[in-house]
Structure 1
């Protein structure tokens, strides 16, 4: 475990160094357009993919050569997606590219899909490849400039260092790009200013994912950032690549869009205190995100499932506990079961970090099942817990309240008595309680 932590620290230093050296460099002034009209030194390739053969590089757009637009079947009136890969050790495309292409065509069948191929510049040492993102971003900007205003429906999709390519391109095209989505491990900086305005944290096991949604002039930038905890040898790549699969999930599972909630801290989110959708405090994650005009930064959180579809449903359970004795207990195991009009989820295990007499307990529950309207909740303290006073005293729980994040519905009971190992049930619809 120690070695993995050491490597993560070293990598983090290299990433920070690369970021500073890359984006502290001067960018060509937007007023000087001579360089952006010169296509002779463009090294990046722009492969146009087709629905019939999405994995094949059969045709390339070549800036300055109008006949390539026709030859590649590129329709300037249709939505266009440009996929930009990241650092490549082997100099080959990774499998996620083909999956993303297929997902894009599944969601928008008549779209133009371009793969930005900068493998020659991406297969060097990380520091050098990071520095090359500025050059590749200029190439992409020149392609967009060449195609001009016809690409108002352009959506740049960048992964890892490709996210920074997209950021550079979006900056240099002077508002021609409609939307940018990116996945990266370090902060994107343009013109010396951080674009990390809003953060969406996605939690699953030890993998921490973040998505940044940024209004940039007329652009909208969606940037994934990862905070990785060491586990297995492949955890870094697995966690880093998760951003792509979350986005693919949002494309192919249209009816199961993951919802994120604005929150000030991870602790508050884990206590279920942030499941409000008032004043644009919640939003879809990924392709179906609702565009919101705001100048304020915002952190947004959600939890995901282990596999696709990643969507889970969020619930806050909140109740007040009191007893004749003044006790404070930690790490208390609780089992919760939820029953609704569409389904049920039983035996959800929760550890309450602290339970103190005459206090309110609040925690977040998630389920991969769409329960519909909540009808009943079953609450049980584990028989192995250390609520020793339960054996001789009644422990009162006053007013259990449950809020569903996705539907914003609320249910409440009056009060119940709990003994260790006993089960308490309340009917959320009629507020009937049974001990």
Structure 2
């Protein structure tokens, strides 16, 4: 508990107190939307630097507001869509390396686009509350820039896609809301939109579905400490993705926080926080670099329901692709989608729901056994997958759970299901048998497992597996049973 309290204090200190502000120009913070009435269309420059990225040099060329010659100089192509990357709050006043990685990924996979980096470091490298208020200011500047492109070279705002990280997600939202006229910009993607001072706010004071024709968001660090979370937890888009539940990410361990503090001082906390917060960025980059391994997410109420495998349906648009290649669809209400990922790129995993009907023959005795499962597919095998049921086995009941695989095993052909019984388990089971009599001849009481039903999320295929040995459907500690596909067998039985 003490470590959690310390971590909470460190998180809050990083959010509220800047590590240093030297080199940052202090600006008066802007207030609410009603107070925000500035116009800059007649001015010759903006504080935000709009840098057009080129894949030929790997560098950027600055486009200056109201200076048409810089569009030609930088080779801006008005016939191609525009993707604009908007960074978040800055601790050190330097553009982070992920920005260039994302720009390079966009250009390498989709050469027929303009990629612009919106550099607002002057306003982002401030005390966090000041930077929050400055998001409106920068949002207005981006809106002015898009309107200038529209007016000067007839560039359609519907061809604009803003990708904003952390505070940059809300900057993008303000840009979309401040742009004049009834037509909206094409798309906004929020990458773990910032939580502090935005959580619980009205749609006009944060990123919302109303800010573009289509809005998607990826939430990767919503774990709360003392009422605060780095990323916003509430839905803010048409489709809100919550990888691994959205609270935290695999491979990002708080156990490393003390080592980071010892090495980097108080700023060492950023090494830990950054992992889960920035995972949203790398999930998006992953969708660009691995088009053959797109991650699918599924509509669900919460992560606990998802972990039971109850939400792997794609009917009526209940699933969607995470990242750049998402299916764009405006919805009347935000839709929360969940998925599991690996700890590293490529992040895609394959989701399976398993439904097993157990009958515990020792009536009145609830047991909590551990199982393992080995799967045989047409492409690969997956061996010794641990299975732990959330609740113990008691009586006659069907249990549902989620299994994820890092590799594509192809079509599932066979399941080996093992009760991971030890010598201790055997002794306990033998004691049950001596204390509780049974009347079915000489057979020991055990668990009856008749069928295993499987649904593959990625293919939507449903399969039924029956015990290979039809004469013995009982399972005992340390025993393994083989289950094979039995749809045909079941159909034949129904016909009879």
Band the TM-score falls in, shorter-chain normalisation:
0.7 to 0.9
TM-score if structure 1 supplies the norm length?
0.86
What is the alpha-carbon distance in structure 2 between the residues aligned to residue 160 and residue 334 of structure 1? 41
Other-structure match for 1:18: none
Residue 329 of structure 1 is aligned with which of 339, 355, 367?
367
Which residue pairs with 2:475 in the alignment?
Answer: 418
Output the CA distance in 1 between the equivalents of 2:95 and 2:33: 28
Larger radius of gyration: 2
Does residue 363 (structure 1) correspond to residue 401 (structure 2)? The answer is yes
For the Cα contact (< 8 Å) 1:80–1:113, is it kept in 2? yes
Q: Which runs of 5+ in 1 are unaligned?
A: 16-20
1:375–1:221 Cα change, 3 Å: closer
- Seen in structure 2, the aligned counterparts of structure 1 residues 63 and 76 have a Cα distance that, compared at 3 Å, is same
Give the number of aligned pairs.
Answer: 417
Distance 1:141 1:252, change over 3 A: same
Question: Which of 229, 245, 256 is the aligned partner of 1:232?
Answer: 256
**1:24-423 to 2 correspondence within 5 Å?**
24-26=32-34, 28=36, 35-40=39-44, 42-54=46-58, 56-57=59-60, 59-148=61-150, 150-151=155-156, 152-174=158-180, 175-183=183-191, 184-186=193-195, 187=199, 189-192=202-205, 195=208, 214-215=237-238, 227-228=247-248, 230-233=254-257, 234-325=271-362, 326-330=364-368, 332-354=369-391, 355-384=393-422, 386=425, 388-389=428-429, 392-414=444-466, 416-423=473-480
More strand by share: 1
Tell me, in whole angstroms, the C-alpha distance in 1 between the residues paired with 2:13 and 2:91. 18
* Aligned residue number for residue 7 of structure 2: 4
Q: 1:381: Cα distance to partner?
A: 1.7
Q: Secondary structure at the match of 2:367?
A: strand
- d(CA) in 2 for partners of 1:269, 1:159: 26
Moved more, 45-54 or 351-360: 351-360
Contact persistence 1:320–1:400 (CA under 8 A): yes
The reply on whether 1:428 has 2:468 as its aligned counterpart is no
Measure, in 2, the Cα distance between the counterparts of 1:193 and 1:247. Answer: 21
The separation in 2 between residues aligned to 1:202 and 1:272, in whole angstroms, is 20
Closer/same/farther in 2, CA of residues 96 and 192 from structure 1, 3 Å limit: closer
The structure richer in helix per residue is: 2
SS in 1 for 2:111: coil
How far 1:182 sits from its partner (Å)? 1.5
Q: Please give the secondary structure, in 2, of the residue aligned with 1:177.
A: coil
TM-score between both structures, scaled by the size of structure 2 = 0.76
Work out the CA distance in 2 between the residues paired with 1:386 and 1:24.
64
Q: CA deviation at 1:125?
A: 1.3
User: Aligned partners of 1:176, 1:222: CA distance in 2, in Å?
Assistant: 23
Go from structure 1 to structure 2 and tell me whether the alpha carbon gap of 1:194 and 1:180 turns closer, same or farther (over 3 Å shift): closer
> Is the 2:297–2:322 Cα contact (8 Å) retained in structure 1?
yes
Deviation at 1:212, TM superposition (A): 5.4
After superposition, give the CA deviation of every residue in 1:319-341 in whole Å (9 maximum; x if it has no partner): 111132232234x3221111111
CA 1:5–1:211 in structure 2 vs 1: closer, same or farther (change >3 Å)?
closer
Q: CA contact under 8 A between 2:365 and 2:394: conserved in structure 1?
A: yes
Cα distance in 2 between the residues matched to 1:133 and 1:213: 16
Structure 2 stretches lacking a partner, 5+ long:
19-28, 210-214, 258-270, 434-443, 468-472, 491-496
